[in-house]
Structure 1
Amino acid sequence: MPQRPRQTPPRQTPQQHQPPAAALSTGAVARHLGVSPTTLRSWERRYAIGPAHREAGRHRRWTAPDIARLELMCRLTADGVPPAEAARAALGGTSPTRRAEAPQTPGGPSALPLGAVRPECRGLSRAAVRLDAPTVADLLEEALAEHGLVTAWEQVIAPTLHAVGRKWASAGERYVEVEHLLSWQVSAAFHRIRPVPEPPRTPPVLLACVPGEQHSLPIEALAAALGQRGVPARMFGAALPAEALHDAVRRTGPRAVVLWAQSRATADPALARSVAAIEWGLRGARSHSALLLAGPGWSPGPPAPRTERLYGLRSGLAVIESLAPPRAATGAAGAGPFAYGS
């Protein structure tokens, strides 16, 4: 009887060409690590620390070994290792230095004390700790675009700034550079926001820090938010001398004056009373500005006449927008400055 020819079994597709079932998307990995998807793409572009498996025309898929390399890179950069060196170590090109080996959980001893916050805060804090200014700028732009200025300030930017401050206060002179870099990038992000064109002949809101006060980011956020709403604002920034503030109020007849004081040491109740008392216009038709005291430096006591406290960006915007429409104080030469009616 003739024998049947042996059948050759079908060739199996090598497993290495098939994406593992447990592979995760970039967004899922970013949430797992507490960084932004933008950061992962930046690391892949700059340091080639991307997923080992790529399939043409499809999204990136990250396997468990890929994620382990990213976790190591996060630990190293959080401990102060430059990103390029951390990427080489994570990829197996070099051995991590002793300084960067310690933590076995994401974050490490240099991580900021954030607590329960949005994932964007963790990505922003990691970038700030490793002094990665381009990534900090990207994350800030992404947060502002996705959440809007007010929510981004309340839920992403301010919590990260507070964490930097707590870390700096508990670590002696360390991390001051992190605070300065993050503050500069936040300020730059606010300055890139283009305000809506001002309505003609509308009195502005003056914003300034009291003399001696250098912390201006909260009122920079307020100035940017007012600009987005079309409310004219004049921002004078940190440590405005008292006489210059008085002159600015008299010259502009503002709708309101916002004075920021970060600490009790800089808050000056006498200055607040003098600003609230400034008036202008013809005799018998004098006008005043509303004085709004902002910041934790002011005492919680009852405010003086024509004075109100602001307790946050969102509520502060509501207070300013609720002010009665100002009226003009006119003189012999024609229309003079507009003022908030007393």
Structure 2
Amino acid sequence: MTEPSPGLTSGAVARRLGVAPTTLRSWDRRYGIGPAAHQSGRHRRWSPGDIAVLQEMCRLTASGVPPAEAARAARAGAVPAAPAAGEAPARPADHGPALGDVRRELRGLGRAAVRLDSAAMDELLDSAIARHGLVTAWEEVLAPALHAVGRKWETSEDRYVEVEHLLSWHVSTALRRVGSTGRAEPPGAGTRPVLLACVPHEQHTLPLEALAAGLAELGVPTLMFGAAVPPEALDQAVRRTGPAAVALWAQARSTADHPLARHVADTSWGVRGARSRTAVLLAGPGWAGRTPGPGMLRPTGLREALSLLRGLCVAARDGEGDATASRGS
């Protein structure tokens, strides 16, 4: 005789559906959306039928149905028929290695964003970063979720703007949490930071925030100047700080400012006879289509950008000069 499936824990169900465990407890307490069977003193376990009800509840609330009404509809029609006698019960969808599939985490994060479920978004973002590491989490979960929400907004006549704004805020907050636990020392005597800035007219800062978080994990000091930095301000920041490198982000070709990048790469500082220059990373899809000039590098993604910047900082720290020193010889 086949043993009945033990079902899934609340944590596993929450990760699968993109719902905070506190949301599950609230739905159970308020609307009766909980495990059909619960043994006292044991962890709650969700059967395939229980999960089907939850899935319908999530679908309805995400479409704007009030929770109480969604719960009544979900309980009335979403529970599948029980397996026939002797038939093996349905196998949980996230059984085995598939539980850690980043695609499932991506879908869960998207559902949580559409529901405006802040607690679930925080939990899913922190879980993805802890499980996969910052680079993989950014490339496979965070950035795709942001792109998907952006596409949904663009194709829905300006609906879901609030979803994009809320998700962006929570992604930014999660990245700053990573940065705050990194081992980077503040820029000071003997250290040359990496300067991070968006080109003028560029408002997309999240990729730069991911870069800052990754550099913090590597122990590399940074100075984040954020969105739409005016050329004059960028020039002064470079001259005042003498950075090991400057990363300029451009999301679109319409914002990529090649003359500005050339100016930064040509900027020098220091006493006569010992002038220094900095390498410039052309970060973002806006720079595509042109061959980088002398003193410029164009990484293909976050992982390569982190590797290049770390190498430049090590060279500066060890007195080997920067990547552009040989240009003037």
Shift of 1:162: 1.3
Q: Counterpart in 2 of 1:187?
A: 172
Shift of 1:88: 4.8
Q: Secondary structure at the match of 1:326?
A: helix
Q: Equivalent of 1:310, from 278, 281, 299?
A: 299
* Residue 293 (structure 2) pairs with residue 301 (structure 1): no
Identical residues among aligned pairs (%) = 57
Q: Write the letter of the residue equivalent to 1:153.
A: W
Q: Counterpart in 2 of 1:42?
A: 22
Greater gyration radius = 1
Q: Contact 1:327 / 1:341 at 8 angstroms: preserved in 2? A: no
* Residue 316 (structure 2) pairs with residue 326 (structure 1): yes
Compared CA separation, residues 198 and 167, structure 1 to 2 (3 A)? same
CA–CA distance in 2 between the matches of 1:145 and 1:117? 12
Shift of 1:341: 6.1
Q: Counterpart in 1 of 2:207?
A: 218
Q: Contact 1:26 / 1:40 at 8 angstroms: preserved in 2? A: no
Q: Counterpart in 2 of 1:266?
A: 255
In structure 1, list runs of 5 or more residues that go unmatched.
Answer: 1-19, 93-115, 330-337
Q: Counterpart in 1 of 2:94?
A: none
CA–CA distance in 2 between the matches of 1:328 and 1:73? 58
Shift of 1:311: 1.6
Q: Contact 1:261 / 1:297 at 8 angstroms: preserved in 2? A: yes
CA–CA distance in 2 between the matches of 1:84 and 1:308? 55
Q: Write the letter of the residue equivalent to 1:75.
A: R
Q: Write the letter of the residue equivalent to 1:46.
A: S
CA–CA distance in 1 between the matches of 2:285 and 2:183? 30
1:184-219 superposed Cα distances (whole Å, 9 cap, x missing partner): 110011112213141762100000000110111001
User: Equivalences for 1:1-342 in 2 at 5 Å?
Assistant: 21-22=4-5, 24-26=7-9, 30=13, 34-36=16-18, 39=19, 41-48=21-28, 49-83=33-67, 85-91=69-75, 118-193=103-178, 194=180, 195-198=182-185, 201-323=190-312, 325-326=315-316, 342=325
CA–CA distance in 1 between the matches of 2:12 and 2:73? 20
CA–CA distance in 2 between the matches of 1:180 and 1:59? 36
Q: Secondary structure at the match of 1:192?
A: helix
1:14-34 superposed Cα distances (whole Å, 9 cap, x missing partner): xxxxxx924521379739x94
* TM-score normalised over the length of structure 1: 0.78
Figure out how many residues of one structure are paired with residues of the other and give that number. 290
Compared CA separation, residues 83 and 227, structure 1 to 2 (3 A)? farther
Compared CA separation, residues 302 and 182, structure 1 to 2 (3 A)? same
CA–CA distance in 2 between the matches of 1:226 and 1:29? 32
Shift of 1:74: 2.1
Query: How large is the Cα RMSD of the aligned pairs?
Result: 2.7
CA–CA distance in 2 between the matches of 1:218 and 1:89? 41
Q: Write the letter of the residue equivalent to 2:57.
A: M
Structure having the larger proportion of residues in helix: 2
Q: Secondary structure at the match of 1:291?
A: strand
CA–CA distance in 2 between the matches of 1:76 and 1:209? 39
Q: Write the letter of the residue equivalent to 1:162.
A: H
CA–CA distance in 1 between the matches of 2:261 and 2:5? 62
CA–CA distance in 2 between the matches of 1:45 and 1:242? 52
Compared CA separation, residues 314 and 27, structure 1 to 2 (3 A)? farther
Shift of 1:143: 1.3
Q: Counterpart in 2 of 1:107?
A: none
Q: Secondary structure at the match of 1:310?
A: coil
CA–CA distance in 2 between the matches of 1:166 and 1:204? 35
For structure 1, which segment, 158-167 or 248-257, has the greater mean C-alpha deviation from structure 2 after superposition?
Answer: 158-167
Q: Contact 2:253 / 2:287 at 8 angstroms: preserved in 1? A: yes
